[in-house]
Chains A and B, each alone.
Chain A
Protein backbone atom coordinates (compact mmCIF):
# COMPACT_ATOMS: atom_id res chain seq x y z
CA UNK A 1 0.00 0.00 0.00
CA UNK A 2 3.04 2.26 0.26
CA UNK A 3 3.23 2.72 -3.47
CA UNK A 4 -0.22 4.23 -3.69
CA UNK A 5 0.86 7.80 -3.04
CA UNK A 6 1.49 9.73 -6.16
CA UNK A 7 3.66 12.79 -6.01
CA UNK A 8 1.82 16.05 -6.06
CA UNK A 9 2.52 17.73 -9.37
CA UNK A 10 4.37 21.00 -9.34
CA UNK A 11 1.45 22.74 -10.97
CA UNK A 12 -1.03 21.72 -8.27
CA UNK A 13 1.42 22.69 -5.58
CA UNK A 14 2.07 26.07 -7.15
CA UNK A 15 -1.66 26.63 -7.56
CA UNK A 16 -2.37 26.04 -3.86
CA UNK A 17 0.58 28.20 -2.83
CA UNK A 18 -0.36 31.08 -5.12
CA UNK A 19 -4.03 31.00 -4.08
CA UNK A 20 -2.88 31.10 -0.52
CA UNK A 21 -0.58 34.03 -1.16
CA UNK A 22 -3.34 35.88 -2.97
CA UNK A 23 -5.71 35.42 -0.07
CA UNK A 24 -3.17 36.69 2.42
CA UNK A 25 -1.58 39.22 0.15
CA UNK A 26 -1.04 42.03 2.64
CA UNK A 27 1.27 40.02 4.86
CA UNK A 28 2.92 38.34 1.91
CA UNK A 29 3.60 41.79 0.41
CA UNK A 30 5.20 42.87 3.66
CA UNK A 31 7.40 39.79 3.63
CA UNK A 32 8.34 40.38 0.01
CA UNK A 33 9.07 44.02 0.87
CA UNK A 34 11.33 42.76 3.58
CA UNK A 35 13.34 40.55 1.25
CA UNK A 36 13.35 43.33 -1.28
CA UNK A 37 14.86 45.84 1.13
CA UNK A 38 17.55 43.43 2.24
CA UNK A 39 18.48 42.45 -1.29
CA UNK A 40 18.33 46.04 -2.55
CA UNK A 41 20.81 47.07 0.12
CA UNK A 42 23.19 44.21 -0.57
CA UNK A 43 23.10 44.45 -4.31
CA UNK A 44 23.36 48.24 -4.48
CA UNK A 45 26.31 48.04 -2.12
CA UNK A 46 27.96 45.51 -4.39
CA UNK A 47 27.28 47.61 -7.49
CA UNK A 48 28.62 50.77 -5.91
CA UNK A 49 31.68 48.97 -4.67
CA UNK A 50 32.74 48.51 -8.28
CA UNK A 51 32.73 52.21 -8.85
CA UNK A 52 35.46 52.68 -6.24
CA UNK A 53 37.69 50.17 -7.93
CA UNK A 54 40.40 51.77 -9.99
CA UNK A 55 39.34 52.08 -13.57
CA UNK A 56 40.21 49.15 -15.73
CA UNK A 57 39.98 49.53 -19.42
CA UNK A 58 37.32 47.93 -21.54
CA UNK A 59 34.75 45.35 -20.68
CA UNK A 60 36.70 43.53 -18.00
CA UNK A 61 35.15 41.83 -15.01
CA UNK A 62 35.97 43.61 -11.76
CA UNK A 63 36.13 41.83 -8.41
CA UNK A 64 33.90 42.82 -5.52
CA UNK A 65 35.41 45.49 -3.35
CA UNK A 66 33.51 45.64 -0.06
CA UNK A 67 35.17 46.95 3.07
CA UNK A 68 34.65 45.52 6.57
CA UNK A 69 32.14 48.13 7.50
CA UNK A 70 29.98 47.37 4.47
CA UNK A 71 30.16 43.65 5.14
CA UNK A 72 29.00 44.25 8.70
CA UNK A 73 26.06 46.34 7.63
CA UNK A 74 25.13 43.66 5.11
CA UNK A 75 25.25 40.87 7.65
CA UNK A 76 23.21 42.79 10.22
CA UNK A 77 20.53 43.85 7.77
CA UNK A 78 20.20 40.34 6.39
CA UNK A 79 19.88 38.97 9.91
CA UNK A 80 17.09 41.43 10.62
CA UNK A 81 15.46 40.28 7.39
CA UNK A 82 15.63 36.63 8.37
CA UNK A 83 14.12 37.33 11.78
CA UNK A 84 11.24 39.32 10.32
CA UNK A 85 10.45 36.70 7.68
CA UNK A 86 10.67 34.01 10.33
CA UNK A 87 8.14 35.88 12.43
CA UNK A 88 5.82 36.40 9.50
CA UNK A 89 5.99 32.72 8.54
CA UNK A 90 5.21 31.64 12.09
CA UNK A 91 2.13 33.85 12.06
CA UNK A 92 1.17 32.30 8.75
CA UNK A 93 1.39 28.81 10.27
CA UNK A 94 -0.79 29.81 13.21
CA UNK A 95 -3.29 31.42 10.88
CA UNK A 96 -3.52 28.25 8.84
CA UNK A 97 -3.44 25.85 11.77
CA UNK A 98 -6.90 24.49 11.16
CA UNK A 99 -6.43 24.42 7.41
CA UNK A 100 -3.23 22.41 7.75
CA UNK A 101 -4.95 20.08 10.21
CA UNK A 102 -7.76 19.54 7.74
CA UNK A 103 -5.34 18.82 4.93
CA UNK A 104 -3.53 16.29 7.08
CA UNK A 105 -6.83 14.78 8.05
CA UNK A 106 -7.68 14.36 4.38
CA UNK A 107 -4.47 12.46 3.87
CA UNK A 108 -1.79 15.06 3.18
CA UNK A 109 1.62 13.81 4.23
CA UNK A 110 3.98 15.83 6.41
CA UNK A 111 6.27 16.30 3.45
CA UNK A 112 3.47 17.92 1.45
CA UNK A 113 2.87 20.56 4.12
CA UNK A 114 6.62 21.14 4.24
CA UNK A 115 6.67 21.57 0.48
CA UNK A 116 3.83 24.09 0.57
CA UNK A 117 5.73 26.38 2.91
CA UNK A 118 9.11 25.93 1.24
CA UNK A 119 7.49 26.72 -2.08
CA UNK A 120 5.93 29.85 -0.65
CA UNK A 121 9.35 30.89 0.64
CA UNK A 122 10.89 30.34 -2.79
CA UNK A 123 8.21 32.43 -4.48
CA UNK A 124 8.66 35.21 -1.92
CA UNK A 125 12.42 35.01 -2.25
CA UNK A 126 12.28 35.11 -6.04
CA UNK A 127 9.97 38.13 -6.22
CA UNK A 128 11.89 39.92 -3.47
CA UNK A 129 15.19 39.22 -5.20
CA UNK A 130 13.93 40.41 -8.56
CA UNK A 131 12.55 43.63 -7.11
CA UNK A 132 15.61 44.20 -4.95
CA UNK A 133 18.04 43.80 -7.83
CA UNK A 134 15.98 45.93 -10.23
CA UNK A 135 15.61 48.79 -7.79
CA UNK A 136 19.27 48.61 -6.86
CA UNK A 137 20.20 48.68 -10.55
CA UNK A 138 18.05 51.73 -11.23
CA UNK A 139 19.08 53.73 -8.18
CA UNK A 140 22.79 53.08 -8.47
CA UNK A 141 22.89 53.82 -12.19
CA UNK A 142 23.25 57.65 -11.90
CA UNK A 143 25.92 57.32 -9.22
CA UNK A 144 27.91 54.84 -11.22
CA UNK A 145 27.59 56.98 -14.31
CA UNK A 146 28.87 59.98 -12.35
CA UNK A 147 31.75 58.05 -10.84
CA UNK A 148 33.12 56.12 -13.76
CA UNK A 149 31.31 57.69 -16.67
CA UNK A 150 29.94 54.42 -17.97
CA UNK A 151 27.83 51.51 -16.80
CA UNK A 152 29.50 48.49 -15.27
CA UNK A 153 30.41 45.60 -17.54
CA UNK A 154 27.56 43.18 -18.19
CA UNK A 155 29.37 40.35 -16.42
CA UNK A 156 29.43 42.40 -13.25
CA UNK A 157 25.70 42.96 -13.39
CA UNK A 158 25.09 39.29 -14.03
CA UNK A 159 27.35 38.43 -11.14
CA UNK A 160 25.55 40.81 -8.78
CA UNK A 161 22.20 39.55 -10.04
CA UNK A 162 22.98 35.92 -9.34
CA UNK A 163 24.33 36.83 -5.91
CA UNK A 164 21.18 38.87 -5.19
CA UNK A 165 18.92 35.98 -6.11
CA UNK A 166 21.01 33.59 -4.09
CA UNK A 167 20.82 35.89 -1.07
CA UNK A 168 17.06 36.42 -1.49
CA UNK A 169 16.25 32.72 -1.81
CA UNK A 170 18.65 31.81 0.97
CA UNK A 171 17.29 34.23 3.57
CA UNK A 172 13.68 33.33 2.90
CA UNK A 173 14.51 29.62 3.00
CA UNK A 174 16.49 29.89 6.23
CA UNK A 175 13.65 31.83 7.82
CA UNK A 176 11.06 29.28 6.67
CA UNK A 177 12.71 26.02 7.70
CA UNK A 178 11.53 26.03 11.29
CA UNK A 179 7.97 27.33 10.67
CA UNK A 180 7.52 24.82 7.85
CA UNK A 181 8.77 21.97 10.00
CA UNK A 182 6.50 23.10 12.81
CA UNK A 183 3.53 23.16 10.42
CA UNK A 184 4.28 19.70 9.07
CA UNK A 185 4.26 18.27 12.59
CA UNK A 186 0.86 19.68 13.50
CA UNK A 187 -1.34 17.04 15.06
CA UNK A 188 -4.68 16.99 13.21
CA UNK A 189 -6.64 16.25 16.39
CA UNK A 190 -5.36 19.41 18.07
CA UNK A 191 -5.70 21.44 14.91
CA UNK A 192 -9.33 20.51 14.37
CA UNK A 193 -10.23 21.57 17.87
CA UNK A 194 -8.37 24.85 17.41
CA UNK A 195 -10.46 28.01 17.11
CA UNK A 196 -8.97 31.27 15.94
Chain B
Protein backbone atom coordinates (compact mmCIF):
# COMPACT_ATOMS: atom_id res chain seq x y z
CA UNK B 1 0.00 0.00 0.00
CA UNK B 2 1.33 3.37 -0.89
CA UNK B 3 1.56 5.71 2.04
CA UNK B 4 0.07 8.48 -0.09
CA UNK B 5 -3.35 7.37 0.96
CA UNK B 6 -4.94 8.51 4.17
CA UNK B 7 -7.70 6.00 3.54
CA UNK B 8 -8.03 3.20 1.07
CA UNK B 9 -10.93 0.81 0.62
CA UNK B 10 -10.72 -2.37 -1.40
CA UNK B 11 -13.88 -4.01 -2.70
CA UNK B 12 -15.78 -2.78 0.32
CA UNK B 13 -19.24 -4.25 0.71
CA UNK B 14 -21.92 -4.24 3.36
CA UNK B 15 -25.08 -6.29 3.10
CA UNK B 16 -28.01 -6.12 5.45
CA UNK B 17 -30.88 -8.53 5.67
CA UNK B 18 -34.03 -6.59 6.34
CA UNK B 19 -37.37 -8.36 6.42
CA UNK B 20 -35.99 -11.34 4.55
CA UNK B 21 -34.54 -9.36 1.64
CA UNK B 22 -30.88 -8.69 1.19
CA UNK B 23 -30.01 -5.03 0.96
CA UNK B 24 -26.70 -4.11 -0.55
CA UNK B 25 -25.87 -0.88 1.22
CA UNK B 26 -22.38 -0.95 -0.25
CA UNK B 27 -21.37 -3.19 -3.09
CA UNK B 28 -17.72 -3.21 -3.97
CA UNK B 29 -16.40 0.28 -3.31
CA UNK B 30 -12.79 0.90 -4.29
CA UNK B 31 -11.73 4.26 -3.05
CA UNK B 32 -8.49 6.03 -2.34
CA UNK B 33 -8.37 9.20 -0.35
CA UNK B 34 -5.13 11.12 -0.65
CA UNK B 35 -3.55 12.99 2.18
CA UNK B 36 -4.62 16.60 2.24
CA UNK B 37 -7.56 15.95 -0.02
CA UNK B 38 -11.06 17.36 0.34
CA UNK B 39 -13.28 14.58 -0.88
CA UNK B 40 -17.06 14.74 -1.08
CA UNK B 41 -19.42 11.83 -1.38
CA UNK B 42 -22.69 12.69 -3.05
CA UNK B 43 -25.69 10.53 -3.65
CA UNK B 44 -29.39 10.24 -3.00
CA UNK B 45 -30.72 9.14 0.38
CA UNK B 46 -30.17 5.45 0.89
CA UNK B 47 -27.30 5.30 -1.58
CA UNK B 48 -24.95 4.14 1.14
CA UNK B 49 -23.23 7.39 2.11
CA UNK B 50 -23.67 6.93 5.82
CA UNK B 51 -22.79 3.24 5.62
CA UNK B 52 -19.55 4.18 3.89
CA UNK B 53 -18.97 6.82 6.54
CA UNK B 54 -19.46 4.23 9.29
CA UNK B 55 -17.14 1.74 7.59
CA UNK B 56 -14.32 4.22 7.13
CA UNK B 57 -14.89 5.51 10.62
CA UNK B 58 -14.36 2.07 12.07
CA UNK B 59 -17.85 2.09 13.56
CA UNK B 60 -19.14 -0.89 11.63
CA UNK B 61 -17.66 -4.05 10.20
CA UNK B 62 -17.88 -4.69 6.45
CA UNK B 63 -19.38 -7.87 5.00
CA UNK B 64 -16.57 -8.08 2.50
CA UNK B 65 -13.52 -6.08 1.57
CA UNK B 66 -11.00 -4.05 3.46
CA UNK B 67 -10.51 -0.56 4.81
CA UNK B 68 -7.04 0.81 5.39
CA UNK B 69 -6.54 3.91 7.46
CA UNK B 70 -2.95 5.10 7.50
CA UNK B 71 -2.14 1.65 6.12
CA UNK B 72 -3.76 -0.06 9.09
CA UNK B 73 -6.25 -2.71 8.07
CA UNK B 74 -9.09 -1.93 10.40
CA UNK B 75 -10.91 -5.22 9.87
CA UNK B 76 -8.07 -6.87 11.77
CA UNK B 77 -8.52 -4.71 14.84
CA UNK B 78 -10.43 -5.74 17.92
CA UNK B 79 -12.83 -3.44 19.75
CA UNK B 80 -10.10 -2.03 21.96
CA UNK B 81 -7.82 -1.19 19.05
CA UNK B 82 -10.73 0.28 17.12
CA UNK B 83 -11.41 2.62 20.01
CA UNK B 84 -7.76 3.63 19.88
CA UNK B 85 -7.98 4.22 16.14
CA UNK B 86 -11.15 6.27 16.43
CA UNK B 87 -9.57 8.30 19.16
CA UNK B 88 -6.26 9.06 17.45
CA UNK B 89 -6.70 8.74 13.71
CA UNK B 90 -10.23 9.87 12.95
CA UNK B 91 -12.14 13.03 13.71
CA UNK B 92 -15.91 12.94 13.42
CA UNK B 93 -18.33 15.69 12.54
CA UNK B 94 -22.02 14.87 12.61
CA UNK B 95 -25.16 16.36 11.19
CA UNK B 96 -26.62 16.70 14.67
CA UNK B 97 -23.35 18.02 16.21
CA UNK B 98 -23.48 15.43 19.03
CA UNK B 99 -21.77 17.49 21.65
CA UNK B 100 -21.93 16.26 25.22
CA UNK B 101 -24.69 18.47 26.65
CA UNK B 102 -23.43 18.52 30.23
CA UNK B 103 -19.93 19.72 29.33
CA UNK B 104 -18.82 23.21 28.26
CA UNK B 105 -17.37 23.97 24.84
CA UNK B 106 -13.79 23.66 26.01
CA UNK B 107 -14.53 20.45 27.93
CA UNK B 108 -16.15 18.99 24.85
CA UNK B 109 -13.01 19.73 22.86
CA UNK B 110 -10.76 18.26 25.56
CA UNK B 111 -12.80 15.05 25.76
CA UNK B 112 -10.99 13.16 22.96
CA UNK B 113 -7.70 14.28 24.49
CA UNK B 114 -8.83 13.00 27.88
CA UNK B 115 -9.51 9.65 26.22
CA UNK B 116 -6.06 9.78 24.64
CA UNK B 117 -4.45 10.55 27.98
CA UNK B 118 -3.13 14.03 27.23
CA UNK B 119 -2.06 15.86 30.42
CA UNK B 120 -4.50 18.48 31.62
CA UNK B 121 -2.36 21.54 31.02
CA UNK B 122 -1.55 20.61 27.45
CA UNK B 123 -5.09 19.66 26.54
CA UNK B 124 -6.65 22.81 27.99
CA UNK B 125 -4.13 24.92 26.10
CA UNK B 126 -4.74 23.04 22.87
CA UNK B 127 -8.51 23.15 23.23
CA UNK B 128 -8.35 26.89 23.75
CA UNK B 129 -6.24 27.29 20.63
CA UNK B 130 -8.57 25.12 18.58
CA UNK B 131 -11.63 27.01 19.73
CA UNK B 132 -9.94 30.29 18.91
CA UNK B 133 -9.11 28.90 15.50
CA UNK B 134 -12.77 28.12 14.79
CA UNK B 135 -13.72 31.58 16.02
CA UNK B 136 -15.15 30.70 19.42
CA UNK B 137 -12.43 32.15 21.61
CA UNK B 138 -15.04 34.02 23.64
CA UNK B 139 -17.33 31.03 24.18
CA UNK B 140 -14.99 28.64 25.95
CA UNK B 141 -17.18 28.08 28.97
CA UNK B 142 -20.57 27.99 27.31
CA UNK B 143 -22.62 24.81 27.34
CA UNK B 144 -23.90 23.50 23.99
CA UNK B 145 -27.44 24.63 24.87
CA UNK B 146 -26.14 28.19 25.10
CA UNK B 147 -24.67 28.08 21.59
CA UNK B 148 -26.31 28.39 18.20
CA UNK B 149 -26.30 25.53 15.71
CA UNK B 150 -23.42 26.96 13.75
CA UNK B 151 -21.41 27.55 16.90
CA UNK B 152 -22.09 24.02 18.08
CA UNK B 153 -20.82 22.70 14.78
CA UNK B 154 -17.69 24.81 15.19
CA UNK B 155 -17.12 23.23 18.59
CA UNK B 156 -17.60 19.84 16.93
CA UNK B 157 -14.98 20.74 14.32
CA UNK B 158 -12.55 21.80 17.04
CA UNK B 159 -13.27 18.54 18.85
CA UNK B 160 -12.65 16.55 15.68
CA UNK B 161 -9.23 18.18 15.34
CA UNK B 162 -8.23 17.61 18.95
CA UNK B 163 -6.01 14.54 18.52
CA UNK B 164 -4.48 15.57 15.16
CA UNK B 165 -6.35 12.87 13.23
CA UNK B 166 -5.28 11.56 9.83
CA UNK B 167 -8.71 12.23 8.45
CA UNK B 168 -11.83 14.15 9.35
CA UNK B 169 -15.08 12.38 8.55
CA UNK B 170 -18.06 14.64 8.18
CA UNK B 171 -21.54 13.22 7.76
CA UNK B 172 -23.71 15.98 6.31
CA UNK B 173 -22.08 18.68 8.43
CA UNK B 174 -24.41 21.36 7.08
CA UNK B 175 -27.59 19.28 7.12
CA UNK B 176 -29.02 20.93 10.21
CA UNK B 177 -27.87 24.47 9.45
CA UNK B 178 -29.34 27.34 7.49
CA UNK B 179 -27.71 28.53 4.26
CA UNK B 180 -25.40 31.18 5.68
CA UNK B 181 -24.28 29.20 8.71
CA UNK B 182 -23.76 26.19 6.47
CA UNK B 183 -21.58 28.27 4.22
CA UNK B 184 -19.53 29.47 7.19
CA UNK B 185 -18.92 25.88 8.26
CA UNK B 186 -17.93 24.90 4.73
CA UNK B 187 -15.53 27.83 4.50
CA UNK B 188 -14.06 26.88 7.85
CA UNK B 189 -13.53 23.28 6.75
CA UNK B 190 -11.95 24.46 3.52
CA UNK B 191 -9.68 26.78 5.44
CA UNK B 192 -8.56 23.93 7.69
CA UNK B 193 -8.01 21.79 4.63
CA UNK B 194 -5.92 24.39 2.82
CA UNK B 195 -3.99 25.89 5.69
CA UNK B 196 -3.33 22.79 7.78
CA UNK B 197 -3.46 20.14 5.09
CA UNK B 198 -6.17 18.19 6.91
CA UNK B 199 -7.80 15.42 4.91
CA UNK B 200 -11.55 15.78 4.81
CA UNK B 201 -14.07 13.17 3.79
CA UNK B 202 -17.53 14.58 3.59
CA UNK B 203 -20.81 12.81 2.91
CA UNK B 204 -23.28 15.41 1.78
CA UNK B 205 -26.29 16.58 -0.16
CA UNK B 206 -25.06 20.11 -0.17
CA UNK B 207 -23.81 21.49 -3.49
CA UNK B 208 -21.96 24.27 -1.71
CA UNK B 209 -19.59 21.66 -0.32
CA UNK B 210 -19.07 20.26 -3.79
CA UNK B 211 -17.78 23.65 -4.89
CA UNK B 212 -14.85 23.54 -2.51
CA UNK B 213 -13.99 19.84 -2.91
CA UNK B 214 -10.96 18.49 -4.71
CA UNK B 215 -12.85 15.45 -5.82
CA UNK B 216 -16.46 14.40 -5.77
CA UNK B 217 -17.63 10.84 -5.83
CA UNK B 218 -21.21 10.07 -6.68
CA UNK B 219 -22.51 6.83 -5.30
CA UNK B 220 -25.78 5.14 -6.08
CA UNK B 221 -27.08 1.82 -4.84
CA UNK B 222 -23.84 1.11 -3.07
CA UNK B 223 -21.63 1.58 -6.11
CA UNK B 224 -19.46 4.40 -7.33
CA UNK B 225 -21.41 5.99 -10.13
CA UNK B 226 -18.95 8.62 -11.27
CA UNK B 227 -15.96 10.57 -10.05
CA UNK B 228 -15.38 14.20 -10.74
CA UNK B 229 -12.07 15.89 -10.14
CA UNK B 230 -12.29 19.59 -9.38
CA UNK B 231 -8.81 20.42 -8.33
CA UNK B 232 -5.67 18.53 -7.62
CA UNK B 233 -4.18 18.36 -4.20
CA UNK B 234 -0.90 20.07 -4.79
CA UNK B 235 1.58 18.23 -2.65
CA UNK B 236 0.61 14.64 -3.01
CA UNK B 237 -1.16 14.09 -6.26
CA UNK B 238 1.85 15.13 -8.37
CA UNK B 239 3.92 12.22 -7.11
A interface residues with partner B (beta carbon < 8 Å): 1-2, 4-8, 12, 16, 19-20, 22-23, 98-99, 101-110, 112, 188-189, 192
Contacts and interface: CB of A to CB of B under 8 A. Distances in A.
A24 to B, nearest CB: 8
Nearest to B103: A19
15 contacts: A4-B116, A5-B84, A5-B116, A6-B117, A16-B103, A19-B102, A23-B102, A98-B98, A102-B99, A103-B100, A105-B92, A107-B83, A107-B87, A107-B88, A109-B80
Interface stretch (B52-60, B126-134, B216-224, B226-234): B52-60
B156 to A, nearest CB: 10
B50 to A, nearest CB: 8
Contacts of B102: 16, 19-20, 22-23
Interface string B33-64: 00000000000000000000010010110000
Contacts, number: 79
Interface of B: 54, 57, 59-60, 79-81, 83-88, 92, 94, 98-103, 107, 111-112, 114-117, 120, 159, 163
Which secondary structure dominates where chain B touches chain A?
helix
Contact of B59 (A19, A22, A189): A189
Contacts of B100: 99, 102-103
A67 to B, nearest CB: 47
A106 B107 CA distance: 13
Contact of A105 (B59, B80, B88, B114): B59
A106 B59 contact: no
Contacts of B57: 105
Which residue, A22, A101, A189, has most C-beta atoms of chain B within 10 A? A189
